[in-house]
A and B are shown apart, each in its own frame.
Chain A
């Protein structure tokens, strides 16, 4: 149980394009979804937290207009990297948590984004 599907797993785009990454909870309702960025050999950096039907809460230093997050339903959240540039190249990982209290997060397999 508690499967989170993230798509695409890898994307290579030209500079200036926008890229959308999808995160789906397949067998549970995700009350909260999280988006992380991970640099090589480093821990995960939380970018934003989103609740279904609400605006995302962004961490300090994360550009809201650059990284658009939509949490349209209890099973789907999307991250759109707008007008991507080479410095946006990274490994992006989503996670989802359901229910109340200290529920564990369940992670997708990540998206390797490369901007040329």
Chain B
């Protein structure tokens, strides 16, 4: 079946540091890929998405590129802020699953001053 693997956290960074959260996936067909962010005590917010190979999703300084050859969708940001502290979930929706998400386990990011 489909699966998503993302790096374990927590990831602790100083403000303005570079961020990379690795995500790889296993899926048949042509899944769409997503990054969601969850702030403490809240639901998930869609951060960015990519629907086909080589697409780059970007939002709020974050970006991720759909790499079919390496089955990866790594999340990157050039300069993190304290307000970016949250849990980040990589996920996919595969064709014909009626929007059913397959999640990674989540990566907690903590940014300090």
Is A32 an interface residue, CB under 8 A from the partner? yes
**B interface, how many residues as a size bin?**
20 to 34
A43: which of B95, B97, B104 is its contact (CB, 8 Å)? B104
Q: Are B105 and A43 in contact (CB under 8 A)?
A: yes
Which residue on chain A has the smallest CB distance to residue B42? A109
Number of interface residues, chain A, beta carbon within 8 A: 27
What's the minimum C-beta distance from B64 to chain A, rounded to whole angstroms?
14
Interface residues of B in 21-55 (CB under 8 A from A): 31-32, 34, 36, 41-46, 49, 51
Minimum C-beta distance from B31 to chain A (A): 7
Docked CA distance A95–B31 (Å):
19
Task: Give the distance in Å from the alpha carbon of A6 to the alpha carbon of B34 in the complex.
Answer: 22
Q: Which residues of B does A touch, CB under 8 Å?
A: 31-32, 34, 36, 41-46, 49, 51, 89, 93-95, 97-101, 103-106, 108
